[in-house]
Amino acid sequence: MALLLLHTCCVHCVAYTVGYWRGQGFEVTLLWYNPNIHPYLEHQRRLEALITFSRSKSLLIIADQSYDPVKFFQAIAGYEAERCQKCFHLRLLRAAKIAKEKSFAVFTTTLLISPHQKHQLLKEIGEIVAKETGITFLYHDLRRYYSESRHQTKVLNLYRQQYCGCLYSEWERYSKAGRK
Ligand code: SF4
Protein backbone atom coordinates (compact mmCIF):
# COMPACT_ATOMS: atom_id res chain seq x y z
CA MET A 1 0.00 0.00 0.00
CA ALA A 2 1.43 3.42 -1.00
CA LEU A 3 2.16 5.87 1.82
CA LEU A 4 0.42 9.23 1.71
CA LEU A 5 1.34 12.24 3.86
CA LEU A 6 -1.77 14.36 4.38
CA HIS A 7 -1.12 17.95 5.34
CA THR A 8 -3.90 18.82 7.76
CA CYS A 9 -5.42 22.26 8.21
CA CYS A 10 -8.02 21.32 10.85
CA VAL A 11 -9.84 18.33 12.27
CA HIS A 12 -13.12 19.13 10.53
CA CYS A 13 -11.52 18.89 7.09
CA VAL A 14 -9.63 15.72 8.03
CA ALA A 15 -12.65 13.56 8.85
CA TYR A 16 -13.93 12.89 5.33
CA THR A 17 -10.59 13.40 3.57
CA VAL A 18 -8.85 10.54 5.39
CA GLY A 19 -11.59 8.11 4.44
CA TYR A 20 -11.53 9.27 0.84
CA TRP A 21 -7.78 8.69 0.36
CA ARG A 22 -7.91 5.38 2.23
CA GLY A 23 -10.64 4.36 -0.19
CA GLN A 24 -8.22 5.13 -3.02
CA GLY A 25 -5.80 2.59 -1.58
CA PHE A 26 -3.40 4.80 0.40
CA GLU A 27 -2.06 4.37 3.91
CA VAL A 28 -2.56 7.85 5.37
CA THR A 29 -0.44 9.72 7.93
CA LEU A 30 -1.52 13.18 9.07
CA LEU A 31 0.89 16.09 9.20
CA TRP A 32 0.21 19.17 11.31
CA TYR A 33 2.17 22.22 10.18
CA ASN A 34 0.32 25.53 10.30
CA PRO A 35 2.38 28.57 11.40
CA ASN A 36 -0.30 30.69 9.71
CA ILE A 37 -2.67 30.19 12.66
CA HIS A 38 -2.67 33.11 15.08
CA PRO A 39 -2.51 33.64 17.93
CA TYR A 40 -0.58 30.78 19.49
CA LEU A 41 -3.44 29.64 21.78
CA GLU A 42 -5.75 29.35 18.78
CA HIS A 43 -3.09 27.20 17.09
CA GLN A 44 -2.96 24.97 20.18
CA ARG A 45 -6.74 24.63 20.38
CA ARG A 46 -6.94 23.43 16.79
CA LEU A 47 -4.02 21.06 17.26
CA GLU A 48 -5.53 19.59 20.45
CA ALA A 49 -8.82 18.94 18.61
CA LEU A 50 -6.92 17.13 15.87
CA ILE A 51 -4.94 15.02 18.37
CA THR A 52 -8.16 14.03 20.18
CA PHE A 53 -9.73 12.99 16.88
CA SER A 54 -6.67 11.10 15.64
CA ARG A 55 -6.48 9.15 18.92
CA SER A 56 -10.16 8.24 18.70
CA LYS A 57 -9.67 6.95 15.15
CA SER A 58 -6.16 5.45 15.69
CA LEU A 59 -4.69 7.70 12.99
CA LEU A 60 -0.97 8.24 12.70
CA ILE A 61 0.04 11.88 13.09
CA ILE A 62 3.25 13.87 12.73
CA ALA A 63 2.70 17.03 14.75
CA ASP A 64 5.28 19.59 13.71
CA GLN A 65 5.05 22.02 16.60
CA SER A 66 7.87 24.27 15.46
CA TYR A 67 5.32 27.07 15.58
CA ASP A 68 7.02 29.99 13.88
CA PRO A 69 4.77 32.96 13.08
CA VAL A 70 7.89 34.96 12.15
CA LYS A 71 8.40 32.63 9.20
CA PHE A 72 4.80 33.18 8.11
CA PHE A 73 5.02 36.98 8.34
CA GLN A 74 8.37 36.98 6.52
CA ALA A 75 6.83 34.89 3.73
CA ILE A 76 3.91 37.26 3.17
CA ALA A 77 5.66 40.60 3.85
CA GLY A 78 5.03 42.86 0.87
CA TYR A 79 2.50 40.37 -0.54
CA GLU A 80 -0.35 40.90 1.91
CA ALA A 81 -2.97 41.08 -0.86
CA GLU A 82 -1.77 37.71 -2.23
CA ARG A 83 -0.94 36.25 1.13
CA CYS A 84 -2.82 32.96 0.59
CA GLN A 85 -0.45 32.06 -2.24
CA LYS A 86 2.56 32.49 0.07
CA CYS A 87 0.76 30.72 2.90
CA PHE A 88 -0.10 27.68 0.76
CA HIS A 89 3.45 27.52 -0.54
CA LEU A 90 5.00 27.69 2.94
CA ARG A 91 2.84 24.88 4.28
CA LEU A 92 2.85 22.60 1.25
CA LEU A 93 6.60 22.94 0.76
CA ARG A 94 7.15 21.81 4.34
CA ALA A 95 4.74 18.90 3.80
CA ALA A 96 6.52 17.83 0.60
CA LYS A 97 9.96 18.03 2.25
CA ILE A 98 8.82 15.91 5.20
CA ALA A 99 7.15 13.46 2.81
CA LYS A 100 10.41 13.11 0.92
CA GLU A 101 12.59 12.77 4.03
CA LYS A 102 10.32 10.09 5.46
CA SER A 103 9.89 8.16 2.19
CA PHE A 104 6.20 8.81 1.56
CA ALA A 105 5.13 8.13 -2.02
CA VAL A 106 2.85 11.18 -2.34
CA PHE A 107 1.48 14.15 -0.42
CA THR A 108 -1.70 16.23 -0.41
CA THR A 109 -3.69 18.55 1.85
CA THR A 110 -7.07 18.67 3.57
CA LEU A 111 -7.42 22.24 2.32
CA LEU A 112 -8.80 20.71 -0.89
CA ILE A 113 -12.10 19.94 0.84
CA SER A 114 -12.75 23.50 1.98
CA PRO A 115 -15.01 25.75 -0.11
CA HIS A 116 -13.53 28.69 1.82
CA GLN A 117 -10.06 28.31 0.30
CA LYS A 118 -8.83 29.56 -3.07
CA HIS A 119 -9.14 26.14 -4.66
CA GLN A 120 -7.55 26.69 -8.07
CA LEU A 121 -4.62 28.52 -6.50
CA LEU A 122 -4.16 25.68 -4.05
CA LYS A 123 -4.02 23.18 -6.90
CA GLU A 124 -1.45 25.30 -8.74
CA ILE A 125 0.75 25.71 -5.67
CA GLY A 126 0.58 21.97 -4.98
CA GLU A 127 1.80 21.29 -8.50
CA ILE A 128 4.58 23.90 -8.22
CA VAL A 129 5.77 22.38 -4.95
CA ALA A 130 5.68 18.91 -6.53
CA LYS A 131 8.03 20.16 -9.27
CA GLU A 132 10.30 21.89 -6.73
CA THR A 133 10.68 18.80 -4.58
CA GLY A 134 10.17 15.89 -6.98
CA ILE A 135 7.34 14.33 -4.98
CA THR A 136 3.85 13.81 -6.39
CA PHE A 137 1.02 16.08 -5.21
CA LEU A 138 -2.32 14.25 -5.17
CA TYR A 139 -5.20 16.41 -6.32
CA HIS A 140 -8.91 15.81 -6.04
CA ASP A 141 -11.72 18.33 -5.67
CA LEU A 142 -13.42 17.23 -2.44
CA ARG A 143 -15.43 20.39 -1.81
CA ARG A 144 -18.81 18.72 -2.28
CA TYR A 145 -18.03 16.60 0.82
CA TYR A 146 -17.26 19.53 3.13
CA SER A 147 -20.62 19.38 4.95
CA GLU A 148 -20.33 15.62 5.36
CA SER A 149 -16.87 16.05 6.88
CA ARG A 150 -18.11 18.63 9.38
CA HIS A 151 -21.10 16.40 10.15
CA GLN A 152 -18.73 13.53 11.05
CA THR A 153 -16.91 15.64 13.68
CA LYS A 154 -20.02 17.36 15.10
CA VAL A 155 -20.89 14.43 17.37
CA LEU A 156 -17.42 14.57 18.92
CA ASN A 157 -17.94 18.15 20.10
CA LEU A 158 -14.44 19.27 19.09
CA TYR A 159 -13.25 22.87 18.97
CA ARG A 160 -14.43 24.69 15.81
CA GLN A 161 -12.49 27.65 14.52
CA GLN A 162 -14.29 30.78 13.38
CA TYR A 163 -11.73 32.15 10.94
CA CYS A 164 -9.18 30.80 8.48
CA GLY A 165 -6.05 31.26 10.55
CA CYS A 166 -3.92 34.37 10.14
CA LEU A 167 -4.40 37.70 11.90
CA TYR A 168 -5.72 39.19 8.67
CA SER A 169 -8.43 36.56 8.36
CA GLU A 170 -9.45 37.07 11.98
CA TRP A 171 -9.68 40.83 11.34
CA GLU A 172 -11.77 40.25 8.19
CA ARG A 173 -14.08 37.92 10.09
CA TYR A 174 -14.79 40.19 13.04
CA SER A 175 -14.19 43.77 11.97
CA LYS A 176 -16.30 45.87 9.65
CA ALA A 177 -13.13 47.66 8.51
CA GLY A 178 -11.47 44.32 7.73
CA ARG A 179 -14.36 43.24 5.49
CA LYS A 180 -14.14 46.37 3.32
S1 SF4 B 1 -6.49 33.71 4.92
FE2 SF4 B 1 -5.99 31.58 5.45
S3 SF4 B 1 -4.95 30.71 3.64
FE4 SF4 B 1 -4.95 32.98 3.45
S5 SF4 B 1 -3.02 33.64 4.39
FE6 SF4 B 1 -4.54 33.72 6.00
S7 SF4 B 1 -4.39 31.72 7.01
FE8 SF4 B 1 -3.35 31.52 5.03
Per residue in 93-129, is it b (16+ CB within 10 Å) or e — as a string? bbbbbbbeeeebebbbbbbbbbeebbbeebbebbebb
Q: What is the CATH number of the domain that holds 146?
A: 3.40.50.620
Shortest-distance atom of ligand 1 to CA 86: 5
Pocket test residue of 169, 174, 179 for ligand 1, highest count of atoms within 8 A of CB: 169
Distance 169 CA to ligand 1 centre (A): 6
* pLDDT tens per residue across span 26-78: 999 999 999 999 999 999 999 999 999 999 999 999 999 888 999 999 999 99
pLDDT of 179 > 70? The answer is no
* pLDDT tens per residue across span 90-130: 999 999 999 999 999 999 999 999 999 999 999 999 999 99
Number of domains in the chain: 1
pLDDT at 99: 98
pLDDT of 177 > 80? The answer is no
Which residue range(s) make up the domain with 152?
A: 2-179
